[in-house]
Amino acid sequence: MAEANDITTNPAAAAEPSTDFSVYKPGQGYYTRMGTIIGAALVSMLGILWLWEYLKRIEISGVNELYVAAAGAIVIGGIITIGVYYLVFMKHSSVDFLIATEGEMKKVNWSTRREIMGSTTAVITTAVILTVFCWAIDIGFFAFFRFIKVLDS
């Protein structure tokens, strides 16, 4: 007989995050999880660098400013790390979103190099034609306004 908290008998138990630090659906969504971690790490490092410079200016009597900055950066970095770990590996709704995102990205029809080169050429050609057209209209208006003596030179 299954326990009362078993997922098969209690579907609500599946929606509850686990109390330990185990990874929810560990074999799924690897690339989106790693991409999320890399992005969060880059953003948080920039924030911690800003915080480091800010905390170096704080003076506490008898404490070196470097120690204050290091302690603040370590504490905030630890909090961010725990938060990102929770969101990327433990929270069921965000993990399911990342897994679904990876599944949808596999369905995308990515363009070939030839298609991208052709599209880029078309865009650049169109931009050049529009630029020349606008320049010609500008020269035409300039000549017209000089002819009717609105412009002096």
Q: 107 pLDDT exceeds 80?
A: yes
Find the mean pLDDT for residues 96-117. 92
The confidence score (pLDDT) of residue 5 equals 45
Please state, in angstroms and rounded to a whole number, the distance separating the CA atoms of residues 119 and 85: 40
pTM for the complete prediction? Answer: 0.59
Find the mean pLDDT for residues 87-96. 92
Please state, in angstroms and rounded to a whole number, the distance separating the CA atoms of residues 26 and 95: 10
Give, in degrees to the nearest 5, the angle at Cα 89 between 86 and 90. 60
Kindly report the number of other CB atoms within 10 A of residue 110's CB atom: 7
